[in-house]
Structure 1
């Protein structure tokens, strides 16, 4: 499983751009490929960071109160809503993208950061709702009621009590929302007709078409695109473990 990753890094470090001539172990590492990758795809990397962070903000802003309502308010049909939320993840992205394009054309959201952020947020929203609900079900209602007895309203108790207690789950949901948005290709390709908003996934796709003979630079771009996700996963691994298992123990 790790060999393709190793081959990607090894090819990116070799000056010879021909794949057939690439060595298994680079004897003379060369970082020229990374310089060309940053020069041509630096803007796409920045776009991906902006879009992914925006998608995380939108996703958590919507998912946290929705999950709390489903977990604590005893809504009629709450289980059906959760099940329907899971079903939405089974719909192919290309189907959603084609439907969104028509709506975006009417709303002037095609080729815009806001349009792509909203579309990418929808990728992580169902998962975030289900994950946060599973955690918030385990929050004792007595804690929230005690805060309300002390004078807090429902919204204040949610912000000052529920959200801090759900920190691990929020970090986990936010991380996965970031990864979903970072890896998105279908929405980036369908909802953008110009290069004004070009994430790195679309940039690599176009880069391969324009530089198919320069695989060193292509692989260097792929390595650079994997670094932010890898750093976040390493930094948040303890929160991920606690967030995923926290809802299973009451």
Structure 2
């Protein structure tokens, strides 16, 4: 029995290694291509023959503003999503309201609406309200996806909080806002980090809303910067890959830093 268990574990590890290598192969090629000197074809290989990081300086010079826009929009989306979703999730769990079931069904239904439908509707609204080509407009648009997901994640976490803790705080004289701020939010920290990270990653990788709701270069996320490279400068693969590496770093760093909270948050959601 032990031998079979060891064989199964070894086979699982080998499969995991193969899958990981397959997923990391494009990343390796991207980094290798970004270190090729300008004008040289972006070829594969384990390591670049003559590494040249100058394309990163070119990428920062040409796409620095786009990277900043993406960072501002993504952080704003995460903050707005949590600000709206946390009170809503609290109301749906520890202070249940009439009609909570239909409301949650509506939240799930919103998740099923195609993004292009939402983008087209927002374009007409933004044209009338002056929100086209604005960071605020992109934050509001990306939050249409971030808020429903955050509500679902936070409701699961808040529903797992023992009601005795909340009742004890109320008996000590804490009001509804104090209970929410000092008891519910700290106990939902892992879920808050998870929901905020998902909202950030969605906004960071968004192309649909950015392409639909921006018409000039004044407000242009890095996803559209890469889109421009592929559309008009396909010969500049070195700069394109350098920009792609820079665009991947913030998301990768956040995932690594928040890994412990994400694991705890998703595990809590899976067991409740």
TM-score category by the smaller chain?
A: over 0.9
Structure 1 unaligned residues grouped into runs of 5+: none
1:249: how far off?
Answer: 4.0
**2:92 counterpart residue number:** 70
Alpha-carbon deviations, 1:160-218, whole Å to 9, x = none? 11001100100010011100000000110111111111110011111222321110000
2:164 aligned counterpart, secondary structure: helix
**Which residue, 195, 199, 205 being the options, matches 2:217?**
195
Within a 5 Å distance, the mapping from 1:157-196 to structure 2 comes to: 157-196=179-218
**2:105 counterpart residue number:** 83
**Which residue, 142, 146, 150 being the options, matches 2:168?**
146
Conservation of the 8 A alpha-carbon contact between 2:86 and 2:154: yes
After TM superposition, the structure 1 stretch with the greater mean CA deviation from structure 2, 164-173 or 80-89, is 80-89
1:89 aligned counterpart, secondary structure: helix
**Which residue, 1, 12, 22 being the options, matches 2:43?**
22
1:23: how far off?
Answer: 4.0
Say how many residue pairs are matched: 249
After TM superposition, the structure 1 stretch with the greater mean CA deviation from structure 2, 23-32 or 150-159, is 23-32
Computing the radius of gyration over CA atoms, which structure comes out larger, 1 or 2? Answer: 2
When the two structures are superposed, what TM-score results if normalisation uses the length of structure 1?
A: 0.95
Aligned: 1:105 with 2:118: no
1:35: how far off?
Answer: 1.1
When the two structures are superposed, what TM-score results if normalisation uses the length of structure 2?
A: 0.88
For 2:54 and 2:229, the matched residues in 1 are separated by 16
RMSD value, Cα: 1.4
1:13: how far off?
Answer: 0.8
Conservation of the 8 A alpha-carbon contact between 1:134 and 1:247: yes
1:136 aligned counterpart, secondary structure: helix
**2:137 counterpart residue number:** 115
After TM superposition, the structure 1 stretch with the greater mean CA deviation from structure 2, 236-245 or 206-215, is 206-215
For 2:27 and 2:148, the matched residues in 1 are separated by 30
Conservation of the 8 A alpha-carbon contact between 2:142 and 2:209: yes
1:41: how far off?
Answer: 0.3
